[in-house]
Structures are given as structure tokens and as C-alpha cells.
Amino acid sequence: MAKQSAIRTLSAGSIGNFGEIYDFAVFGFSVPILSIHFFPGSDRTAALLSTFAVYAVAFFARPLGGLLFGVMADKVGRVKVMATTVWLMALGTAVIGLLPTYAQVGIAAPVLLVACRIAQGLALGGETTGTTSFILESAPDDRRGGWIGLTLVFSHLPNALVAGLLIALQVGAGATSYADWVWRVPFLAGGLIGIVGFWLRRNLDEPEEFKQATRRTGSKNPLGTALRAGGLRGMLNVAMIQPIQTVGSYLLLGFMYTFLVRVAKLESATALFTNGAAIVVLSLMIPIGGVLSDRFGRKRILTLGALWLAIAAYPGVYLAATGTISGALLGQLLLTVGVGLYGGACFVAAPEFFPTSFRATGHAISYQLSVAVFGGTTPFIATLLVRGFGSPLAPAYYVAFVAIACLILTQFVPETQRRAAAYVCRLDCGRQHVRRPERD
């Protein structure tokens, strides 16, 4: 693939990842202020739990979005789906910035907030699978992990950038103005990212691998094909490796900031700074994990990442709960190393479990269900555990348990690094045809 074509491909994939995760990050970091405006009441923990429940709503919409857009990606192409999802997510985010509060319209306010989160969830369900399939099928055979890892840098940097943006807005506008109306600005800015994302994606070409798979097998019923034996095996493999990556990521991205403010009693700006710094490191660790998986194999890096998290979960949460800036930073960094290494291998292995002809459909169903069950609920469960056990260390046991489970299950999935699964097309009759696509 020519250098200019590679840059264009990676840029188009990255901007979508950036926009989609920016929108989720704004909501995650805004949970404390949203709980005040949309779930007022004397019990602040109950208000936080209600807001985290709304946060989780989008994750339960993701499987539906993944199924809808996954089938479309296999039938009409990756590019059309990528252009659609970036618009839908941007719209859902911008509208949140315009919503009236509970004090203005009563119960209609949280209902409208839920509707926006559903739109975001549908979009993200299609975006993740569409972009991952597009990048995987465009990448050189021996650099799939590195390419996907590079685009995922832009799936995590928005969290750090949003943290910096919120610090600047809080300092610049003052606490009163920020709580009154300035909190809306980051949501409105999400709409602008959708415009840039669509502009970059509007004239992309489909990967040659996808074109060849479509010519050989057609794309009449990718859902039916995905639900047969080969597809179900791939979905089971995704379900076996995905949980700890999802739990670890959303502990850092959706829970830790609120934990540092509410439980560790850090100042808001300090919590944002430490969480943002940890996320920057996470964004750099994921491509390292992807490159290492290209070199040493997916299973070895998955095993290393899961083992690290099983060991580091307790000291990481313990340090974060100390209420000091150094403890918060070091504790989150301990978690970040494991999540990054594991994620770099996990994100490339998951779509490699499926052949090209129904990759988007099979990956969307299994990946989005895993994220809905383990990702959207992680902040809620972690908050509930802290309250239920009366200990700030309770989330560590949850992370360690899931890490140990995935460490064991990972040993039973196939190694996809060198089997060129991307070029295997399973026909409806169950036979396999392996063909190397032409490369520029």
C-alpha cells in the first residue's frame, strides 16, 4: 500500500475513533455535574448511581447498533457505515449540550438525556466494528496489530484532552459559571468533530480484501452465516478474551475520576490531571501492545496483560484511594500498563477470529455484548461495591477476579497472528477458500 494511501486510511479511521470516544469521555467526566442538573436530591450517592445508570444505557444500546451497522458493513461496505455512525454520535452529543435541566422541565430532562445516550450507543456500536474491520483489512499482513493500535491512540487521547479542556473551563469560567452553563460547551463541541470526521471519510475506498470477499461469497445474509458454527466459535472466543480489557478500560475512563473526587477526596482539577495523565500513557501503551502481538503472538501478550492486571489491581486501587496526587497517579499507571498491553492484542485478535465475509457482523454481536455487560456496568458496579462494602478497595477485587478469569480463558482461544484468518472465506456450505489478496 502506498504511503499516501496508508496515511489517508489511518487518518480516516483515527478521526472516527477520536470523535466517538470524545463524546463518551465528555459524558463520563461530566457525571458529577450531570447528576446535579438531571437527578437532584439530598442523597448524592443515589444521584451518582442514577447518572452512572444513564451512562450504562448507551452500552446496552451498543449491541443493537453493532448488529444493525455490522450487517450493513458486510452488505453495503465499511465506508458507508463509518460515515453514518460519525454523524449519529456527533448529533447525540451536541443535543445533550442543549437539553433543559430537571429544574426546568422535570422528569422530561432525564428522559431526554437517556434518549441521547441511546443514540450515542447505537453509533458507537457500529463505529467500533466498522472502523476496526476497515483498518484490519487495509493493513499489511504482519502489521495488523500495529495499525489498529495506532488508530486506538485516538480512541483514548480524547479522554485526556477532555480532562484538560474541563480543567481549563473550570479555571477560566469559575466554579459557579461552570456549574451553571459552561459545562454544556464540551458537548456542543462534539458536533464539530462529526463534521471533520465525515469530511475525511466521505470518499474513502473499500479495502481490496473486502471487495474480493464480496465477489467470492456475496453478502446476502451475513447474519445467518455468522450464526452458524464457525461464526459462533468466533463469538465465543471474543467473549472469552474481551471482559478484562473492557472492565480495565472503563474503570479508568468512566469511574476513576469520580472515585478520586468522591472517595479519595481530591480536588476536581487534581483528579482530572492524574486521570488525564494516566490515559495519555494508556493511549501509548495500546499500540505497543499491538506491535508486540505482531512480533510475539496475540496470546502471549494477552496472557501478560491479564497477569499484570490480576497482580496490580489491589495496589493500583489502594494507591489511588490514598488521597494524594502521587498515589492517584501511580495507582492509575499501574492499571494502565496492564490494560494497554492487553488491549493492544485484544483489539486485533477479536476481529481476526472471523473471516472477511461476515467479520463485521460476527465481531459486532460478540464485542458489543461483552462491552455492554462488562463496560457500561463497570462504573455502576464499582460505585455500588464501594458503598456496599464500605471500602474504597472493593473495585480492586472485581478487577482482579475478571483478570484471573480471562487469564485462564485466553489459553483456550486460537492464535490468530500467523494463520491469516482475514483471508479465509467460509461459504454457506461450510467449505473454506484461502486466497492471498493482491497488494500494492
Task: Give residue for cell 426546568.
Answer: 104
Q: Which of 82-86, 201-205, 284-288 has the lowest mean pLDDT?
A: 201-205
pLDDT at 217: 61
Strand partners, 426: 432
Q: Which H/E stretch holds residue 356?
A: none
Report d(CA 301, CA 344) in Å as an integer. Answer: 8
Nearest Cα residue to 153 out of 20, 60, 238, 280? 280
What is the predicted pLDDT for the residue at 156?
73
pLDDT for 171 beyond 70: yes
| Predicted pLDDT at 1 | 46
- The answer on pLDDT for 439 being more than 60 is no
Q: What is the DSSP letter of 423?
A: G
* Residue 404 half-sphere exposure toward CB, CA atoms < 13 A: 10
Distances (CA, A) of 29 to 22, 59, 162, 301, 399: 10, 16, 8, 30, 21
Specify the pLDDT at position 319: 95
197, 90 Cβ separation under 8 angstroms: yes
Could you tell me which residue, 230 or 114, shows the higher pLDDT? 114
Mean pLDDT of all residues in 161-181: 84
Average pLDDT over the chain, rounded to an integer: 84
Q: Which of 273-277, 403-407, 422-426 tops mean pLDDT?
A: 403-407
Please compute the mean of the pLDDT values over residues 333-339 and round it to a whole number: 96
Length of the chain, in residues: 440
Question: What is the mean predicted confidence (pLDDT) over 207-236?
Answer: 79
- Contacts with 379 (C-beta within 8 Å, 6 or more apart), sequence order: 28, 31, 52, 55, 56, 250, 251, 254, 255, 258
pLDDT of res. 422: 41
Write down all domains in the chain, each with its CATH number in brackets. 3-434 (1.20.1250.20)
| Residue 412 burial class via C-beta count within 10 angstroms: exposed 0-12, middle 13-18, buried 19 and up | exposed
Q: Where are the alpha helices (DSSP H) in 251-324?
A: 256-262, 268-296, 298-320
56 pLDDT more than 80: no
Most confident by average pLDDT, 59-63, 119-123, 426-430: 119-123
Task: Give the pLDDT confidence score for residue 31 in this predicted structure.
Answer: 78
Q: How far apart are CA 244 and CA 398, in angstroms?
A: 10
Q: Residue 433: what pLDDT? A: 42
Lowest mean pLDDT among 118-127, 300-309, 321-330, 348-357: 118-127
Q: Which of the two residues, 423 and 43, has the higher pLDDT score?
A: 43
d(CA 183, CA 157) in angstroms, rounded, equals 20
Q: How far apart are CA 17 and CA 343, in angstroms?
A: 15
- Round the CA-based radius of gyration of the chain to a whole number and report it: 21
149 pLDDT above the threshold of 80 = yes
| Residue scoring higher pLDDT (410 or 197) | 410
Comparing 155 with 350, the larger pLDDT belongs to 350
How sure is the predictor about 226, in pLDDT bands with cuts at 50, 70 and 90? confident
Bridge partners for 433 per DSSP: 425
Q: What is the pLDDT of residues 237-269, one digit of tens each?
A: 999 999 999 999 888 877 888 889 888 899 888
**Would you say residue 68 has pLDDT above 60?**
yes
DSSP 213-261: HHHHH--S-HHHHHTSHHHHHHHHHHHHHHHHHHHHHHIIIIIHHHHHH
Report pLDDT for 198: 78
